[in-house]
Chain A
Amino acid sequence: MNIYLDLFLTFAKVGVCTFGGGYAMLPILQREVVEKKGWATDEELTDYFAVGQCTPGIIAVNTATFIGYKHKGVPGGVLTTLGVVFPSLVIITAIAAFLSNFADIPVVQHALAGINAAVVALIAASVLKLGRSTLKNGAAIAIFLCVLALAAAGSLANFGTGTLGQVLDLLTSPAVLIVLAGAAGFLLYGRKKGGAGK
């Protein structure tokens, strides 16, 4: 198959299999892009999510652009991105035109509750797979635990609207955590001779 067509269709498949936010596409990306096509590694996926997390735009779109560009330059980046949004265009347009009460249909709500339970398990399995390649030494595990604790606190706790609350809100926001982790990486490995050994 023509590689450009393949890029478009593969990402259209990723789009149609994703339910929820950008993270829900991770298990599908691992299967389609890492295992089947070999267009990226697990490590590269975490890189793209990290960059996507602190650059403008939603993560799902940013990740698609990244993989397409890496593989086939600008046309690749454009095609994967168009691919990942294509199913939404078709499905949402059809639903908005013909089924405006779609989300209120009981069977849809029950099916979605089932899907969400499966997505939780899929993301958990994906994180375990990623961890095998990204958490190889003590420093990496320390960064992982710090960021996990701060991010979880940020999404669960309500820090209030005072000055301290605002500082805590900022400190636990994903973009700031990514920047801090990058700085930690630089301090830990950047100045050692020979860089970070693998």
Chain B
Amino acid sequence: MLEIAGRLRPYLRRAYSVADVGTDAGEVEFLVKTIGPGTAALEDLAEGSRASLLGPLGNGFSLAGLPAGSRVAIVAGGIGAAPFPLLLRALDGAGFSADLFLGGRNAAELAFRERFETIVPGETYLATDDGSLGEKGFVTNLFARRAEAEPGRYARLYACGPMPMFAALARVVERVGIAAEFSTEAAMGCGFGACLGCVIPGTEKPFVISCLEGPILPPRLIDWRKVR
């Protein structure tokens, strides 16, 4: 959770995934898309400005249980590319291979595309809504075709993007039988379980608290019929 000290607008912190870590100690990278006053204020920060960071909070993607040398899939929609540079480095470092499915509205929205070229230990598939780069259409369809063409190719799916993308992916992984970890997003007031603002409709109980029990959640814990 990041905060620009002293501001009344935005008043609350904003939650971000750690996108990457630098080679210098203490260097941490975030991917920020300007969509409202909170992100606009971060964008306006001059170099050398101070921000307050509360974290790390919640859980992270897990590599536990992956068979040695296996291959995973990563599906990223738009700003959902954020957590994957770091995950790809971790996967590569642990000897796993990974195919990346990167989608967005247009070519300009495919964040980290150049960086991914150098760090994806596997194939990369691109999709844009307007067809300006890669296949025209949803990245979820691209992933579904690849996964269905070769059942057993992926030991796990890691995904980050908007809720409709997750809902589509949940159907695919259920059909094909792939374990999945979704990095969910919900408006968070605090980030540590106090405000209960970031809940997601659940299957095992009425709501899952995204910041505390997630934000990485298996799709079976989410009641997709109730997700708005």
Genuine A/B complex: no
